[in-house]
Amino acid sequence: MLVINGTAELMHDHNNLTKGSRHEFNMFSKATPFEQQVDKIEQYFVERGWDNIEVLTNGVIDNPDNITHSVLLQAYEKADNEGFSVTINNQPLV
């Protein structure tokens, strides 16, 4: 499973999040390698109202037993079933 960490900018107000704010994200993609997924990753974010995506790191997780954070484990499992999933940190970067 491919794991991608980075930031993205919100393109419109959504719930408690403000348009133009930048947030950290973690994304899981069942398909690899990263270079072949860039367009799909961008499309996934844009369809959900995020843009100006900056990927900071990426890697591969071979075993979900190594994921200790419950939200990230749920995201991993969702991506395993649906192909992609993302978690967005609710607190914007300053």
pLDDT recorded at residue 51: 95
Rg (CA), the chain: 13
Q: What is the DSSP letter of 65?
A: G
pLDDT recorded at residue 24: 97
Rounded Cα distance between 28 and 58, Å, is 10
The pLDDT of residue 27 is above 80? yes
Q: pLDDT: is 70 or 36 the higher one?
A: 70
Q: Which CATH architecture has domain 2-88?
A: Roll (3.10)
Mean pLDDT, the chain, whole residue set: 92
Confidence of residue 37 (pLDDT cuts 50, 70, 90): confident
The pLDDT of residue 94 is above 80? no
HEC profile of 6-58: EEEEECCCECCECCCCEEEEEEEECCCCHHHCHHHHHHHHHHCCEEEEEEEEE
By the 8 A CB rule, do 39 and 47 touch?
A: no
ω into 92 cis (within 30 of 0): no
pLDDT recorded at residue 35: 85
pLDDT digits (tens, 9 = 90+) for 43-80: 989 999 999 999 999 999 988 998 999 999 999 999 99
Residue-range domain boundaries for the chain: 2-88
